[in-house]
Amino acid sequence: MPATYTDRLEGLTTSVAIKAPCQAVAIANITLTGEQTVNGVAVVAGDRVLATAQTNNVDNGIWVVGTGTWARAKDFDGTRDAVQGTLVSVFLGGTDSVLYQLTTADPIVIGTTALTFEPATWLSQVAFVTADEISDDTSDLQAITAKLQFLQSGTGAVSRSIQSKLRDGTSAFDFLTSAQIADVEAGTALEDVTTVLQAALDAHKTVYLPNGTYLVSAKLIPQVKSVLIGESENGVILKGNHSGAILEYPINNFDCQIKNLSFAGDDCTGIAVASTAGTLHDYLIRPQIESCHFHYELAYGINADLIFSRLRNCSFGYYGTGTDNNTMVGLRSHAVSTNYTNLNRVECCLFFTGTDTIAAVDLSAGDNWLFDSCDWEQGGIAVKTDNIQQLRFVNCWFEGNTVSTSAGGVVILLQTATTPVVFESCNFVNNTCYAVIGYSSSVTAGVEIKNSTIAKTGSSFCIYDTATTSVNLPTDGSVAFYNNVVAGGSGSDKLVSALEYRGGFTSPRLVIVVDTSGSGTILASNDPGATIFRNGAGDISISASSAMATSTDHVAAIGTWRDGEGEVQVTNTTTVRAIRNDAATDNVVTVVVYGA
């Protein structure tokens, strides 16, 4: 039920926290009788007056003016009407008011306890500051937030100022003007924000960037161990209008994190690292780069020597503006001096760039690179390596890449002692090339291609030896090719060698099923070029189309007869002989030969 005027006048609807307003405050001793002027305010019967300086402090408190003796206000005359901290508002006219706070310690008994009131100036600023005053002078608000306290929930939490709490996170917008923020949010990229973004990066290791397009005209230099996080994937674009890096990490940089940022700008580099003439400090060590996208108009996506890096869910050349000519190098990591780029992992990344002379991924000198579930499409050379040890591609996809169809035109180019290299469970689909994988037998050893699918166009080949120009599997076993599916092209040029089904280093080199009856018949073989010679009943020699090992000592063979028992003898590196114990009986034998 709404309060009556009398209720409001006498304070019956207020609490011990904040009392109903008074018309005047006495800051000197006054007589508590009759209508009079108090502190410059003429008060009449019925007005409320706060007495703060009576000779006897017991008489301090809220009084109701009368033509005779004043009476205490009904909200300030009982034992439960006031406590330490009770606030009293005094209206001063116009838009001005002041708050007084009862500072006497509890317990308080009105009429017995001496009462002390002090102006609550900071609370009056909070309660009565105007919008114009806020926009014209924010220093008061900053002082207020420095005093207001925040207490987190939970046992053991310690209070701290609101200002301290708000500084837990730093937004790039904290350093931008309103005009710059509007430009960023609109995506027009007309306001150069290089200087203010650099100020944010200089002041804070962790910076949050709200969605929008940020125009930068020079490299931004984050701190060591910095964290840069965009509001959402594809929502934040750092757009350079200069040549060079957009983000250039300083020397001695460790453990940076970059997430949800996109990089754009003609001939810019998305991420780079400073150089000091070939020391360990030139490396970007343990960076984590996630959900970042590098637009196709860049010169380089990432051009930095990486160690222990983790790249995940990034794209190179998939997005962009203007003409896409596929000339961006998506990922370039070249070792400086003798400090190799080691232990790098690239997961779930997309590469849509490269030409027949420019590789989407260009690696030089390093150990242990892993590409897991990555995709190269609609580009040129997908990967080019030079002196890389332990290079693995697992569950990767290479589709629609175009390079020269003349000898030497390959989608993957392994150069200068790149070994060993493993392609496992990969798909090579409709790439226009001379060969899918190029290597040099003079410097590259230990290439393993397994459990993969190669769907070729035209008369392209699976592998190409740049040293010998051969498209055959080498006889020394340095290239293993097994459990693969090859489709497309003419049947004779899948590998040009019957060894396209040959096993790996520890897998069967030859698996063949032979019926020894008559002149002998090959029922099944993983070597289409294998031949047999019937020596007699239950005795047959089987020859592979090429050497199964480097020496006879490295050949091991077993045989299983459908009915009966027998043995397998190694004749030489290409031939084994299966002999039944009861030689007078012909039957079907399965022979498995292992070589190394």
Which pLDDT tens digit goes with each residue over 240-252? 999 999 999 987 7
Residue where a domain terminates, one of 438, 468, 502? 502
- Domain with 89, as residue range(s), is 18-124
- Helix residue spans in 96-174 (DSSP H): 121-128, 131-136, 139-147, 162-166
In a domain, 556, yes or no: yes
- The values of phi and psi at residue 193, to 5°, are -115, 20
Checking if the pLDDT of 497 tops 50, the result is no
In a domain, 150, yes or no: no
Q: Considering the chain, what percentage of its residues have pLDDT values greater than 90?
A: 52
pLDDT band at 228 (very low <50, low <70, confident <90, very high): very high
pLDDT band at 418 (very low <50, low <70, confident <90, very high): confident
253-254 vs 461-465, strand pairing mode: unpaired
Measured between alpha carbons, how far is 373 from 362 in angstroms, rounded to an integer?
18
Who has greater pLDDT, 93 or 416?
Answer: 416
* Residue 200: its H or E element: helix 194-203
- Predicted local distance difference test score (pLDDT) of residue 87: 92
Checking if the pLDDT of 191 tops 70, the result is yes
**C-alpha dist (Å) from residue 154 to 88, 149, 158, 219, 240:** 33, 16, 9, 44, 46
**Lowest model confidence (mean pLDDT) among 127-131, 199-203, 420-424:** 127-131
Q: In the predicted model, what is the mean pLDDT of the chain?
A: 85
- Predicted local distance difference test score (pLDDT) of residue 491: 44
Checking if the pLDDT of 470 tops 50, the result is yes
Structure tokens at 62: 């809220």
Q: Are the CB atoms for 432 and 404 separated by under 8 Å? A: no
Whether 238 and 304 map to the same domain: the answer is yes
Whether 312 and 177 map to the same domain: the answer is yes
The mean pLDDT value for 454-477 works out to 80
In a domain, 158, yes or no: no
In a domain, 13, yes or no: no
- Predicted local distance difference test score (pLDDT) of residue 159: 85
Whether 69 and 116 map to the same domain: the answer is yes
Whether 100 and 120 map to the same domain: the answer is yes
Checking if the pLDDT of 409 tops 90, the result is yes
- Predicted local distance difference test score (pLDDT) of residue 196: 97
* Residue 543, beta-bridge partner list: 531, 575
Whether 576 and 588 map to the same domain: the answer is yes
Who has greater pLDDT, 254 or 260?
Answer: 260
Checking if the pLDDT of 9 tops 80, the result is no
- Predicted local distance difference test score (pLDDT) of residue 210: 97
- Predicted local distance difference test score (pLDDT) of residue 477: 67
Who has greater pLDDT, 293 or 367?
Answer: 293
Q: What is the pLDDT of residues 31-54, one digit of tens each?
A: 999 999 998 899 999 999 999 999
The mean pLDDT value for 485-498 works out to 51
Checking if the pLDDT of 556 tops 90, the result is no
The mean pLDDT value for 219-232 works out to 96
Measured between alpha carbons, how far is 259 from 245 in angstroms, rounded to an integer?
17
Whether 480 and 519 map to the same domain: the answer is no
Measured between alpha carbons, how far is 512 from 525 in angstroms, rounded to an integer?
4
pLDDT band at 104 (very low <50, low <70, confident <90, very high): very high
Q: Are the CB atoms for 102 and 88 separated by under 8 Å? A: yes
Whether 369 and 489 map to the same domain: the answer is yes
Q: What is the pLDDT of residues 345-396, one digit of tens each?
A: 999 999 999 999 999 999 988 889 999 999 999 999 999 998 888 899 999 9
Structure tokens at 508: 């069967």
Whether 306 and 417 map to the same domain: the answer is no
Checking if the pLDDT of 505 tops 50, the result is no
The mean pLDDT value for 51-63 works out to 95
- Predicted local distance difference test score (pLDDT) of residue 311: 98
- What's the pTM? 0.66
Whether 251 and 207 map to the same domain: the answer is yes
Q: Considering the chain, what percentage of its residues have pLDDT values greater than 70?
A: 86
Count how many Cα atoms sit within 13 Å of the Cα of residue 371 in the half-sphere of its side chain. Answer: 24
**How many structural domains is the chain composed of?**
4
Measured between alpha carbons, how far is 443 from 283 in angstroms, rounded to an integer?
27
- The values of phi and psi at residue 143, to 5°, are -65, -35
In a domain, 10, yes or no: no
154: alpha, beta or left, given left = phi > 0 and alpha = psi -120 to 50? left
Whether 332 and 192 map to the same domain: the answer is yes
In a domain, 160, yes or no: no
**Cβ contacts of 168 within 8 Å, gap of 6 or more:** none
Residue where a domain terminates, one of 292, 321, 353? 353
In a domain, 200, yes or no: yes
Question: Which residue carries 């009862």 as its tokens?
Answer: 102
Checking if the pLDDT of 181 tops 60, the result is yes
Q: Is the dihedral of CA 47, 52, 56, 61 positive or negative?
A: positive
Whether 320 and 383 map to the same domain: the answer is no
The mean pLDDT value for 57-78 works out to 94
Checking if the pLDDT of 490 tops 70, the result is no
Checking if the pLDDT of 4 tops 50, the result is no
**Lowest model confidence (mean pLDDT) among 54-58, 420-424, 459-463:** 459-463
In a domain, 396, yes or no: yes
Question: Which residue carries 């400073």 as its tokens?
Answer: 274
CA angle, 525 then 528 then 534, to 5° = 65
**C-alpha dist (Å) from residue 50 to 6, 14, 26, 79, 335:** 18, 15, 6, 18, 80
CA angle, 509 then 513 then 515, to 5° = 145
Residue where a domain terminates, one of 304, 326, 353? 353
Whether 299 and 375 map to the same domain: the answer is no
* Residue 111, beta-bridge partner list: none
pLDDT band at 508 (very low <50, low <70, confident <90, very high): low
The mean pLDDT value for 91-107 works out to 82
